[in-house]
Amino acid sequence: MQSVISAIRWLSPLPVLLACLALFILMTMTFFDVILRSIFNSPIEAATELTRILMAIVVFSVLPQISAQAGHIAVDLMDSFFFRWRLHNIRDGLGYILCGVLMYWPAMRIWILAERWRDYGDVTEYLAIPQFYIGWFIAFSVAISGIVMIGTGLLILFAPRLLERS
């Protein structure tokens, strides 16, 4: 089990690198779009659709890692109660498992929509990029996030020491 967790920790920077690359491309494209628009009155025509695609890549490529590291937004109104009664691991574990199971529905809905886009042949306006590719990417990322959340919840409940960095 420890080797699986080590392998996951070793691979976890890869989606972050993808997000960083997408963000860099987005930043560079926006810079040149502003320059071309301001100086030559000739904006990049496909900037809007590329921005949408790149933002989806940035957000959904890091979703599994953010979910695993508890980087999501949390409200701590009842934390003192749970810590006092030593129920915080049970709360966190069950919360992770519940949220991971609930991720199944959006993953399936997005996959169905992506398949519909593929069947209809939907493409982006300027570059004619098939839209189902980004739909598949989003569905895959949401599904992986759900699996990661369930796994993290089980580890919190049954083997919290495995989540500690050594």
Domain ranges in the chain are 2-163
Best CA proximity match to 64, nearest among 162, 152, 135: 152
pLDDT at 93 over 70: yes
pLDDT band, very low/low/confident/very high, at 25 (cuts 50, 70, 90): very high
Determine if the pTM surpasses 0.75. Answer: yes
Contact 146/96 with Cβ under 8 angstroms?
A: no
What pLDDT, on a 0 to 100 scale, did the predictor assign at position 74?
79
Whole-number mean pLDDT of the chain? 92
Contact 45/126 with Cβ under 8 angstroms?
A: yes
Cα gap 94→88, rounded to integer Å: 10
Cα gap 88→77, rounded to integer Å: 13
